[in-house]
Amino acid sequence: MLLYGSGAEEMTTAVRQGGKERDMSRVYNFSAGPAVLPEEVLKEAAEEMLDYRGSGMSVMEMSHRSKVYDTIIKEAEADLRDLMQIPDNYKVLFLQGGASQQFAMIPMNLMKKKKAGYIVTGQWAKKAYQEAGIYGEAVKLASSEDKTFSYIPDCSDLDIPEDLDYVYICENNTIYGTKYKELPDTKGHTLVADVSSCFLSEPVDVTKYGVIYGGVQKNIGPAGVVIVIIREDLITEDTLPGTPTMLKYKTHADSDSLYNTPPCYGIYICGKVFKWIRKMGGLSVMKERNEEKAKLLYDFLDESRLFSGTVEKKDRSLMNVPFVTGNDELDAAFVKEAAAAGFVNLKGHRSVGGMRASIYNAMPKEGVEKLVEFMRKFEVEHV
Ligand SMILES: *Cc1c(COP(=O)(O)O)cnc(C)c1O
C-alpha cells in the first residue's frame, strides 16, 4: 500500500520549489478567500504594472472613461459572456461592496410584493435572509441549521407560497463545504443565487436563474468586485422607496457599470482570469480539473483512519473541503505543521473548527496531491 510520502525535509523542499513552472517563493494557499489566483495572471499583471501596453501608466492610474480602460472592461464582459454563454437578455454588472452588499440590493430591487423565500444552508445564506427581513417578509423555505449546515435540504418539492418575489439560495456554502447538485424547484418563481465560491468552477445554465451573483475574491479576482448577472426584465425603476441611486441595478445597467468609478484594477484582473480560463479550455475543462482535485482529497478522507470529512457525501462541494481529526489539539498541530511545510490557510472557519482546504480553479492539481501526501504522513505519525 502506498501510504507514506517523502520525509519532512524533502517534502518541504518539494513544496517550496514545486515543479519547474512554479515560483519558488510561493506557498500552496488553501485560503477560502481572498484566495489563490493563477500565477500566470499575476505575472502578466506584474509585467504590465508600470506601463500598461504602451499607455505609459498602470491600469490603477488611468481614467475609467479612457479608451484603453473601455477596452479592458468590454473585453472582460465579452469573455465572461463567452465562458458562461450568457444570453443577450441578461446584463453583466461589475459592482462594488462585495457579495454582502447584494444581501440588501437584491430585496431593494426585487421585493416588489415585499415577500421572498430563502433557503438557509449556511452563514452567508442566513445573513442574506436576515438582511431581507429588513425590507419585507423573508420566508425561510428550508434550512440545514439543525445539523450545523452539513447537508443541502431536499428542495424538490418545497412548500412555496404563491406570492413570493423570488427564491434565494447560496449555491456553494464556502464555510461548510456543501453545494447544491440540483437547483431547487422554485415552482415558477425567479431564482436568485449567490455563487461567490463556485463562480466559473463548472458550466452553468444561466437561463435557470433570474440573478446569479458573486464576490470575485474566491475564484476570480481581488476582493471588492462583485459580478451580478441579471435578467433584463428584473431591472426596473420600481425599487423599494428610499433605495439609493447607487444600489439600483438600473443605475449600473444603464451606464454599463460606469455610473461612477468602478473598481478598475480589480475588474482588469478578473478579465485576465477570464482569459486564463478560456485558454485552459473553458468551464467544462475547469469542471474536470476540479472534480479530479476534489476526488483526490475526498477519496483520501474516506479511507483515512485519522481525518474525516464533515458533510454529507452527496452534497460535497468541489471547492471547499472541510475535515477534522476529531481532536482539537491534533487539528491545531496539523494546521501548524502543514503551514511550516508550505500548505497555508488550512484552518477551518471558527464556526466549524477543524480544517478546510479551499481548492479553487487556480489551485494546481499538484498542490492537492502534495497536501494529501502530507496528510498521509501526518496520519502515520499520529495514529
Ligand atoms: C465570501 C462570501 C460572501 C461574502 O463576500 P464579501 O465580498 O466579503 O461580502 C458571501 N457569500 C459567499 C457564498 C461567500 O463565500
Find out whether the beta carbon of 197 lies less than 6 Å from any atom of ligand 1. Answer: yes
- Report how far residue 174's alpha carbon sits from residue 125's, in angstroms, rounded to the nearest whole number: 11
Concatenating the DSSP letter of every residue in 47-97 gives HTSSSSTTSSS-GGGS-TTSHHHHHHHHHHHHHHHHHHT--TTEEEEEESS
Q: Is 293 in the pocket of ligand 1 (CB under 6 A)?
A: no
**Strand 191-194 and strand 167-170: pairing?**
parallel
3-state secondary structure of 20: coil
Indicate if the pLDDT at residue 292 is higher than 70: yes
User: Checking phi first, is residue 262 left (phi over 0); if not, alpha (psi -120 to 50) or beta?
Assistant: beta
Q: How distant, in Å, are the alpha carbons of 262, 304, 309, 353, 355 from that of 325?
A: 44, 10, 9, 10, 9
Angle between helix axes 39-47 and 264-280 (nearest 10 degrees) is: 130
Q: Give pLDDT tens digits for 311-370.
A: 999 999 999 999 999 999 999 999 999 999 999 999 999 888 999 999 999 999 999 999
* Ligand 1 near 219 CB (within 6 A): no
pLDDT attached to residue 24: 81
Q: What is the pLDDT of residue 167?
A: 98
Helix, strand and coil in the chain, % to nearest 5 = 40, 15, 45
- Rounded distance between C-alpha atoms, residue 243 and residue 245, angstroms: 6
- Name the residue at shortest CA distance from atom 5 of ligand 1: 99
For the record, the C-alpha cell of 14 comes out as 518539494
Percent of the chain with pLDDT over 70: 95
Q: Residue 21 has what pLDDT? A: 63
Which residue, 151, 172, 169, 144, is CA-closest to 317? 172
- Separation of CA 215 and ligand 1 centre (Å): 6
| Ligand 1 geometric centre to CA of 218 (Å) | 8
Cα of 128 to ligand 1 centre, how many Å?
10
The rounded percent of the chain whose pLDDT value lies above 90 is 92
The pLDDT of residue 111 is 98
What ligand 1 atom has the least distance to the C-alpha of 195?
Answer: 13
How many Å apart are CA 29 and CA 150, to the nearest integer?
Answer: 24
Question: Which of 351, 372, 381, 201 has the alpha carbon at shortest distance from 302?
Answer: 372
Verify whether ligand 1 is closer than 6 Å to residue 358 (CB atom): no
Taking the centre of ligand 1 as the mean of its atom positions, its distance from the CA of residue 59, in whole angstroms, is 26
- Helix ranges, the chain (H): 8-17, 39-47, 67-84, 98-110, 123-135, 249-254, 264-280, 283-303, 328-340, 365-382
> What amino acid positions are annotated as catalytic residues?
124, 194, 218
The mean per-residue pLDDT over the stretch 181-188 comes to: 98
> Is the CB of 174 within 6 Å of ligand 1?
yes
- Ligand 1 centroid to Cα of residue 1, in Å, is 41
Of residues 115, 132, 92, 110, the one with CA closest to residue 213: 92
Query: 138 C-alpha to center of ligand 1: Å?
Result: 20
Q: What is the mean pLDDT of residues 136-155?
A: 97
CA of 144 to the centre of ligand 1 (A): 19
Q: Which residue has the cell 495572471?
A: 41
> Which residue's CA is the nearest one to ligand 1's atom 14?
196
Nearest-atom index, ligand 1, CA of 174? 15
Nearest Cα residue to atom 8 of ligand 1: 98
pLDDT band at 2 (very low <50, low <70, confident <90, very high): very low
Asked whether the bond before 34 is cis by omega within 30 degrees of 0, the reply is yes
Q: What residue's CA is closest to ligand 1, atom 12? A: 196
> Average pLDDT, stretch 220-233?
98
> Helix or strand or coil: residue 36?
coil
Confidence of residue 9 (pLDDT cuts 50, 70, 90): very low
Region of poorest pLDDT, from 7-11, 83-87, 258-262: 7-11
- How far apart CA 126 and CA 299 sit, in angstroms, is 31
177 lines ligand 1 (CB under 6 A): no
To test ligand 1's pocket by mutation, which of 94, 152, 197, 212 has the most ligand atoms within 8 angstroms of CB?
A: 197
Distance of CA 68 to the CA centre of its chain: 29
pLDDT in tens, 35-54: 999 999 999 999 999 999 99
- Look at ligand 1, atom 13, and give the residue with the nearest C-alpha: 196
- Specify the pLDDT at position 350: 87
* Distance separating alpha carbons of residues 281 and 289, to the nearest angstrom: 11
The pTM of this model reads 0.94
Q: What is the pLDDT of residue 42?
A: 97
> What pLDDT score was predicted for residue 158?
97
Unique residue bearing C-alpha cell 463545504: 177
Whether 131 is in the pocket of ligand 1, judged by its Cβ within 6 Å, is: no
DSSP letter assigned to residue 190: P
Exposure string over 295-307, b if 16+ CB within 10 A, otherwise e: ebbbebbeebebb
234-251 pLDDT per residue, tens = 999 999 999 999 999 999
pLDDT at 4: 36
Q: Which of 337, 274, 201, 371 lies closest to 44, judged by CA? A: 274
For residue range 252-288, list pLDDT tens digits in order: 999 999 999 999 999 999 999 999 999 999 999 999 9
Q: Is the CB of 96 under 6 A from ligand 1?
A: no
Q: Residue with the nearest Cα to atom 10 of ligand 1?
A: 99
Rounded to whole angstroms, how far apart are CA atoms 130 and 116? 12
pLDDT of residue 348: 95
Give per-residue pLDDT as tens, 54-77: 999 999 999 999 999 999 999 999
Residue 33 alpha carbon, nearest atom of ligand 1: 1
Q: Chain-wide mean pLDDT for the chain?
A: 94
